[in-house]
Structure 1
Amino acid sequence: MLTAKEIRESFKEFFRSKGHHIVPSAPMVIKDDPTLMFTNAGMNQFKDIILGNKAAKYQRVADSQKCLRVSGKHNDLEEVGMDTYHHTMFEMLGNWSFGDYFKQEAIDWAWEYLVDVLKLDPARLYATVFEGAPDEGLSRDDEAAGYWEKHLPASHIINGNKHDNFWEMGDTGPCGPCSEIHIDLRSDEERAQTDGASLVNKDNPLVIEIWNLVFMQFNRKADGSLESLPAKVIDTGMGFERLCMALQGKKSNYDTDVFTPLISRIAQLSGKEYGKDVKIDVAMRVIADHVRTIAFSIADSQLPGNAKAGYVIRRILRRAVRYAYTFLDQKQAFMYKLVNTLIDSMGEAYPEIAAQRELIMKVIKEEEDSFLRTLDKGIAILDEAIKNARKQGKNEISGKEAFVLYDTYGFPLDLTELILKENGMTLDKKEFDVEMEAQKTRARNAAAVEATDWVTVSEGETEFVGYDVTSAPTRILRYRKVTQKNKEFYQIVLSTTPFYAEMGGQVGDSGWLESADEKIEIYDTKRENGQAVHLSKKLPANVEAEFTARINEANRRATECNHTATHLLHAALREVLGSHVEQKGSYVSPGMLRFDFSHFQKVTPEELRKAERIANANVRKAIALDEHRHMPIAEALEMGAMALFGEKYGEEVRVVRYGDSVELCGGTHVPNTGNIGMIRIISESSIAAGIRRIEAVTGDVAEDMIDQLSDNMREVGELLHNAPDVLQALRKSIEENAELRKQAEEYFQERIRNLTADAIAKAETVNDIRLVSITGVRMPDVVKGIAFGVRQQSPEKTAFIAATVDMGGKPLLTVAFTDDLVKEGLNASAIVREAAKAIKGGGGGQPGFAQAGGKDKDGIAQAFQAMHQAICK
């Protein structure tokens, strides 16, 4: 029986023999494509080639790609664990042709690999072909069907509808018919009873798709029409886990050696047995699947968070914790203990998880601990809601309450329903669904983007010249109008551009597009589908004119200073803290830099100062940029460049070197470190378990900051009468101030005691109640102090009222009662609210003490009389 590792390698070797170049898996987390958060298909790393924005280096390519499907169109999350073949993270084996071979070779080689190489039983295989869509002028894919007829009987070639057999990248873009290969894994007896063809695409867990051959031959335009692609593309994707199931004779992906080590470890840690209880089995499958996703995401530098990709990873992690909590009785952090087993199983194929073992475990454990605290808090809130509902004679919790638990506290809906069921309660699910749909609508509206088709002005690809020049003659290749959040702007693609498109943490350039007749502002530059798009609020009147593209040079130079400073700080931190320090994210703009790195404890002020000094020493050395734009990656690594996990590198890379700092980087940098002027670290903090963040400034911004600090120190010195030792003088002043404050507080309390005694001495007795009252101009704190003083010194039958104004003339009403009067029914809050009407105000408090403020001090006497009457009626 072939192992998972052997199956993966056999696929690559087969397509290598067919002239394919084997490429490594791209990161699962996508950083520089605004249309995608995660790699959800093998074709993602080739999007720019498929879209025609970049020439293919190799016409035939194959690989094994790690993928994640949990959001958008391809959302399998809620099915994961419920069946035996859906996953969040999965591996996709694929082969591509960019304008080379097409349907015949794709079909023949798929058959050869499955039947001749892997020895799958051809009688168990079925192929689907696109049945056509007459309303769009699309006929049945008879060409693909004809090629399948060489291998399969007609009864095993099945027509498929547009949903299953017409693949589209999105609402617009490359698309085409596809042909799925399905396998029937049922027993011979079951196959004899029911024809497998009738079960294809019917969600039968043993009649499943294993390979999809996509024939991209059209381009979908914004108006929905189709045009033929000039260069046809083959894009195939085979589910690795499903293939392992078929080859290893299993009935579930989770019974293959891809998952069995993890499930065995889960069973060992939880004391539960797999295969005995459906709910426990689902929980174990969920956890086994999700821990892979979480570990690989962290290895690709995506930490759990509250927004975008980070939120998705946190949601997956919390789903796994919830299943462990509910069905495996795991009330403490649990999943992080599975990381070593995962690494033992997959670390050889994916060394990034082995290299970042400690970080992955720390992040998962911290997230588990945090969510378990959330669960405890959510359960307490839900218990209170149940208690309140029962007091009102209800046996149902409102959907709004459940939605607040879900949305604010991250408390899972199904756990809410489970707890309610255990307590004999129900949930207003319709109301919850209304709240959920409203939230989704808000999110959709916020993210909605409408774009017209690209208008082609001239053919060609963009040449980036921004490493060498800040302006360049250019022409417009294509443009389109985009509407987002009710704002319109244009995306413009140029033939030649000095504008750096946002990537790798460095912000995009701004500047201008100038012709002989007009000057258009470019306010940002983004990278989309492998091309630089220049954003402008207006389009040139003559798009066919000759232009000069000119960047905002001051902003670019400031950004370059900050980007080079991140490299110098990275090297310095590794020298001070250790070689475990690795960049985990960055943000580089004209005004500041932010640098995230792996380190497991707070960086001390002394360590920060040392790293800063090392970096600034390299600034003063004025080290010239040593740049290698097209270096083979093997040579770059030999040179000492760090290849960061979570980044996608080609066979040739750009190396940026300043002395001992050697990094693979596509950003723009200063020609000489002396241009930076100065680096100042302004903050250090934690952003996740094992991840620290520093923020720093350089150049003019650093000078301005130091100037401000110097000005502040000079002013402080002047306030301290230019004392020779400012710090000593300041400490002395603080100590003297504290002593004066203490004396003032003692005087203040003594004054309150005297005023309290005086007020009590003047008290009147009405209807057996001793009534203590004060009026006039009083500080609010004094009034409150007297009120509490009266209560403390009067064990029973005492009321206090005050109608006063503060130094600013604002009226204040105060009422207080001893506990016995409260028990008899007097309510300070009710009395003060009613009396406050006379001063055009309001307030309240507790039955024993309440205050109210107002706007009309002329009504103070009327308010006093109202409080007096309410007590003495």
Structure 2
Amino acid sequence: MESAEIARRFLRFFEERGHKIVPSASLIAEDPTLLLVNAGMVPFKPYFLGQRTPPASRLASVQKCVRTGDIEEVGKTTRHGTFFQMLGNFSIGDYFKEQAIPFAWELLTRSESDGGFGFPEEKLWVTVFENDDEAIEIWRKVGVPSERIQRRGLADNYWHMGVPGPGGPCSEIYYDRGPEHGRDGGPVADEDRYLEVWNNVFMQYSLSAVRSKVDFDVEGELPAKNIDTGMGLERMATILQGVDNLYEIDTTFKVLDRAAELTKTRYGRDQRADTSLRVIADHVRTGTMLVADGVAPSNEGRGYVLRRILRRSIRNLRLLGSGEERYMHDLTATTIAAMGDIYPELKTDAPQIHAVIDAEEASFLGTLRTGTAIFDVAVEETKRKSGTILSGDQAFQLHDTYGFPIDLTLEMAAEQGLKVDEEGFRRLMKEQRERAKADAKAKKTGNADVSVFGQLLEKAGKVDFLGYDTTTAESSVIGILVDGAAVPVADAGASVEIVLGRTPFYAEGGGQLADQGVIRTAGGVVEVVDVQSPLSGLVVHRGKVASGSIKLGDEVQAEVDVERRRAISRSHSATHMVHRAFKNYLGESAAQAGSENSPGRFRFDFTSAGAVSPSVLRDAEDEVNAILINDLQVNAFYTSQSEARAMGALAMFGEKYGDEVRVVEIGDYSRELCGGTHVHSSGQLGLVKILGEQSVGAGVRRVEALVGIDAFRFLAKESVLVAQLTEQLKARREELPERIEGIVTRLRNAEKDLEKLRSSQVLAIAGELAASARDLGGVSVVTHRAPDGTSPDDLRKLALDVRGRFPADRAAVVVIAGAPSDRPVVVAAVNEAGRTRGLKAGQLVGVAAKALGGGGGGKDDVAQGGGTRVESIDDALRQVGETIAGQLG
């Protein structure tokens, strides 16, 4: 029975019994404590907790889930996986044990021909909480003999959320796979032989204090008892398809089998290859589902989970011999085909899914090439010193400079029989994060301790923001900070942070820069240059007392710089419109990933696997400007988050919103969740000019654009520039691209000719250098300083050319150094006969590079390094010669 049919049967069974079928929630958890949905009941928690009203009292779903706690075990065992699907039926204050247990038993044991799963009754065992006699009695009534009902304690058969709230005993159903899988005795004896297939949770108590899984206080019974069940789809498929493990079920094995075919590997022959194939099959499936739900690869949060999963897949393909081949597109397509019957949206969104995964593969293959070379040098150095641990500094450099995730470094080190100083790595990472946090804190809070702001917030309460309706307002001073300390008064010249009871000033947020302006009192003026909200509800005005003084309790007139505000508002509205236009041309996967709205200019980051063509940029720009001409009204209103989503309002990826949200509409063209300020109608933007786009990370692109008078001035300057070019090149405007391309082509060809001439001059002395080699203990040694300006590539070619002129049976070492620019480079090459004498290019380069004030390394046959001291080149070559002489005795 295929996985899609298992899901259909489950949902149909419960729909026939009055359950409302709920589609799977996104893997992006609404619960702020979770990165990803990790259990089938997660989307239903608000109903169980009474925070939301459920759509019905009986519900059923097939929920996508991801768990990565045991990611290192994936592939090594046949039990661990990252993506799984949980079939569940739920009762919110409706039925309880007396119906939940018979439902489960009936569906499991009903024949396949009659819509059930056809489990033989004698193969099923159940466990119950140790004192849940009520559940035991119900199980006996449905036909389970007492000898196949086992009692278990809190650790196994009691469920709660880990926090105060609902909880209760649970009852699990197990399938006996037979004596070939383990010993007799039921689930308490062997959970490999007796496989859990279904768990019924009876939420009947309110827990007041939860200290651990087995240590909590029961406050009393819930007024309405709930049912939460879970049946693992992959686990069910394993049994119903007669396979040994979750990697061999239909939706996973199709990916595994395709990976084996692409890498010319046979599953089941080699343990190491099998491990890699299982990792690939599991992770590609997980990665595909995450991308489909809008997760983009990044270095933090759920984006890092995705990046880690995809990169483990790619690296295991390399371990199987994929080399530089890109197989992720093919494997993603296989996943979409395998999972598309259950999740049709995968087929619809296939182009966007491929785009994100393909971009991450391309990015990581480059990272692997660079990082692996550096890693190999670090391993060689560690082993040469008879060490067994890679230093935290080396691991941090691989992560920080070359993009190598620490888990990848750990895996590769283990394969080399080495460990990693994780503690040292974590310490360096912590120091880096603390520096970043300190920078951010300085930006948001100035020099003040956050606790000072907390006291101000407690004193003032939430500051009223009036800026949507006005740019001036009367208010009063309720807080003044100078150098981070609260003061009663600040005089002229003082840098201050001021808190008002209410304000028209917009605090930086949502990509919109802060307002500027002035705060006037009867006795002084403060020039406001920045506005921040260090704590939710608190608005802090930062600036300088320009004249007089300002005191606590002063009545003030707060005045926003109107022209600056209008220019920023134009940029913010333009960002919304460009966002909509990009979705129209690139698809819904072009989701906002960041923005900055400044006066007359904005930047907009969005998810995209590759560069956006100039034609698409031009079309999007034309569409936006056409909308401006229509002068659409801009409206803002508040509504619930669910209603906003129902009406199609766009939200920034990864942003957390409250239950009540503000929606900004630009006619019928654009609708987004937004707390920023905007124009009153689209015509006020005047003109939008997209300057271009570029990459700002794997799968993320950035567009920069000008708005209003800034856009007009840019086009005016561009027009003047074009006029000058037409005059100088004696060509019409439309001929300029072709004329300039011809000039650039001729220039490049001339540069290539010069480079060839330079290279031939360098290589012309190869024979002379070989002929002048010194003999050191039977080894021909050439050390030579090339003319300044010789490129690193030419230095390498020269070293290899000279080395190749010696007979194969003559040991030879060639070391060439030079200064391509203002930094020295050294290349060493040792032939096979020289390597048999114990001479290694990497070691010799290390000697020279150290003398040059730098570092380097490489393989035994050829290596390259460099430094900072050009004046030490001759000394470096001398030290190399002495090292060779010393090694040869």
> Same-fold call, TM > 0.5?
yes
Counterpart of 1:195, as a letter, is G
User: How far 1:60 sits from its partner (Å)?
Assistant: 1.8
Does structure 2 conserve the Cα–Cα contact (< 8 Å) formed by 1:581 and 1:599? no
User: Per the alignment, do residues 80 and 707 of structure 1 end up closer, same or farther by CA in structure 2, a change over 3 Å counting?
Assistant: same
Question: Percent identical across equivalent pairs?
Answer: 35
What's 2:799 paired with?
A: none
Counterpart of 1:396, as a letter, is T
User: How far 1:219 sits from its partner (Å)?
Assistant: 4.5
Deviations, residues 345-399 of structure 1 (Å, cap 9, x unaligned): 222322332223233334333333433343333443343334434654x253444
Deviations, residues 705-725 of structure 1 (Å, cap 9, x unaligned): 878999xx79xx9xxxxx998
What's 1:432 paired with?
A: 421
CA distance in 1, matches of 2:656, 2:851: 68
Q: Secondary structure at the match of 1:601?
A: coil
Structure-to-structure mapping, 1:82-231, within 5 angstroms: 82-116=76-110, 117-131=116-130, 140-151=131-142, 152-170=144-162, 172-187=163-178, 194-199=184-189, 202=191, 204=192, 207-213=195-201, 215=203, 217-221=205-209, 227-228=219-220, 229-231=222-224
Which residue, 328, 343, 346 being the options, matches 1:353? 346
CA distance in 1, matches of 2:687, 2:714: 16
What's 2:254 paired with?
A: 261
User: How far 1:343 sits from its partner (Å)?
Assistant: 2.0
Judge which range, 161-170 or 286-295, deviates more.
Answer: 161-170
User: How far 1:333 sits from its partner (Å)?
Assistant: 2.3
Deviations, residues 457-478 of structure 1 (Å, cap 9, x unaligned): xxxxxxxx999999xxxxxxxx
TM-score relative to the length of structure 1: 0.60
User: How far 1:727 sits from its partner (Å)?
Assistant: 8.1
Whether 1:80 and 2:74 are equivalent positions in the alignment is: yes
User: How far 1:437 sits from its partner (Å)?
Assistant: 5.8
Structure-to-structure mapping, 1:192-591, within 5 angstroms: 194-199=184-189, 202=191, 204=192, 207-213=195-201, 215=203, 217-221=205-209, 227-228=219-220, 229-327=222-320, 330-389=323-382, 391-392=384-385, 394=386, 396-400=388-392, 403-404=395-396, 407-408=399-400, 409=402, 411=404, 426-427=417-418, 429=419, 432-435=421-424, 438=427, 564-573=573-582, 578=585, 580=587, 582-587=589-594, 591=598
What's 2:625 paired with?
A: 616
Does structure 2 conserve the Cα–Cα contact (< 8 Å) formed by 1:60 and 1:96? yes
Judge which range, 361-370 or 662-671, deviates more.
Answer: 662-671
Which residue, 666, 669, 673 being the options, matches 1:661? 669
Does structure 1 conserve the Cα–Cα contact (< 8 Å) formed by 2:92 and 2:224? yes
Deviations, residues 467-516 of structure 1 (Å, cap 9, x unaligned): 9999xxxxxxxxxxxxxxxxxxxxxxxxxxxxx9999x789999xxxxxx
Deviations, residues 617-647 of structure 1 (Å, cap 9, x unaligned): 322422236999999x99x99x999999999
CA distance in 2, matches of 1:709, 1:222: 65
Number of aligned positions between the proteins: 643
Does structure 1 conserve the Cα–Cα contact (< 8 Å) formed by 2:577 and 2:670? no
Q: Secondary structure at the match of 2:95?
A: coil
Structure possessing the higher relative contact order (Cα contacts under 8 Å, 6 or more residues apart): 1
Q: Which runs of 5+ in 2 are unaligned?
A: 111-115, 438-464, 471-505, 516-530, 541-559, 730-787, 790-847, 854-867, 876-889
Does structure 2 conserve the Cα–Cα contact (< 8 Å) formed by 1:175 and 1:220? no
User: Per the alignment, do residues 847 and 666 of structure 1 end up closer, same or farther by CA in structure 2, a change over 3 Å counting?
Assistant: closer
TM-score relative to the length of structure 2: 0.59
CA distance in 1, matches of 2:433, 2:199: 32
Deviations, residues 235-269 of structure 1 (Å, cap 9, x unaligned): 22221110111222222122221222222212211
CA distance in 1, matches of 2:467, 2:53: 21
CA distance in 2, matches of 1:92, 1:292: 16
Counterpart of 1:198, as a letter, is V
User: How far 1:153 sits from its partner (Å)?
Assistant: 3.2
User: How far 1:691 sits from its partner (Å)?
Assistant: 5.3
Q: Secondary structure at the match of 1:96?
A: strand
User: Per the alignment, do residues 426 and 614 of structure 1 end up closer, same or farther by CA in structure 2, a change over 3 Å counting?
Assistant: closer
User: Per the alignment, do residues 283 and 328 of structure 1 end up closer, same or farther by CA in structure 2, a change over 3 Å counting?
Assistant: farther
CA distance in 1, matches of 2:432, 2:100: 40
User: How far 1:185 sits from its partner (Å)?
Assistant: 4.1
What's 2:703 paired with?
A: 694
Q: Secondary structure at the match of 1:250?
A: coil
Whether 1:594 and 2:583 are equivalent positions in the alignment is: no
CA distance in 2, matches of 1:64, 1:197: 26
CA distance in 2, matches of 1:501, 1:26: 34
Counterpart of 1:20, as a letter, is H
Q: Which runs of 5+ in 1 are unaligned?
A: 132-139, 448-464, 471-499, 511-521, 527-532, 538-551, 718-722, 732-783, 786-826, 833-842, 851-873
CA distance in 2, matches of 1:569, 1:266: 40
What's 1:684 paired with?
A: 693
Counterpart of 1:211, as a letter, is N
User: Per the alignment, do residues 36 and 387 of structure 1 end up closer, same or farther by CA in structure 2, a change over 3 Å counting?
Assistant: closer
CA distance in 2, matches of 1:286, 1:726: 60
User: How far 1:287 sits from its partner (Å)?
Assistant: 0.7
Does structure 2 conserve the Cα–Cα contact (< 8 Å) formed by 1:582 and 1:644? no
Structure-to-structure mapping, 1:12-51, within 5 angstroms: 12-30=11-29, 33-51=31-49
CA distance in 1, matches of 2:269, 2:14: 42
What's 1:67 paired with?
A: 65
CA distance in 2, matches of 1:502, 1:52: 35
Does structure 1 conserve the Cα–Cα contact (< 8 Å) formed by 2:296 and 2:699? no
Q: Secondary structure at the match of 1:199?
A: coil
Does structure 1 conserve the Cα–Cα contact (< 8 Å) formed by 2:252 and 2:285? no
Counterpart of 2:168, as a letter, is P
Deviations, residues 730-759 of structure 1 (Å, cap 9, x unaligned): 99xxxxxxxxxxxxxxxxxxxxxxxxxxxx
CA distance in 1, matches of 2:338, 2:603: 39
Does structure 1 conserve the Cα–Cα contact (< 8 Å) formed by 2:124 and 2:175? yes
Deviations, residues 737-785 of structure 1 (Å, cap 9, x unaligned): xxxxxxxxxxxxxxxxxxxxxxxxxxxxxxxxxxxxxxxxxxxxxxx99
Q: Secondary structure at the match of 2:236?
A: helix
User: Per the alignment, do residues 625 and 209 of structure 1 end up closer, same or farther by CA in structure 2, a change over 3 Å counting?
Assistant: same
User: How far 1:276 sits from its partner (Å)?
Assistant: 2.0
User: Per the alignment, do residues 689 and 27 of structure 1 end up closer, same or farther by CA in structure 2, a change over 3 Å counting?
Assistant: same
CA distance in 1, matches of 2:91, 2:636: 34
User: Per the alignment, do residues 258 and 567 of structure 1 end up closer, same or farther by CA in structure 2, a change over 3 Å counting?
Assistant: same
User: How far 1:63 sits from its partner (Å)?
Assistant: 1.0
User: How far 1:584 sits from its partner (Å)?
Assistant: 2.0
User: How far 1:196 sits from its partner (Å)?
Assistant: 2.3
Q: CA RMSD in A?
A: 5.8
User: Per the alignment, do residues 398 and 123 of structure 1 end up closer, same or farther by CA in structure 2, a change over 3 Å counting?
Assistant: same
CA distance in 2, matches of 1:179, 1:122: 20
User: How far 1:671 sits from its partner (Å)?
Assistant: 6.2
CA distance in 2, matches of 1:154, 1:406: 59
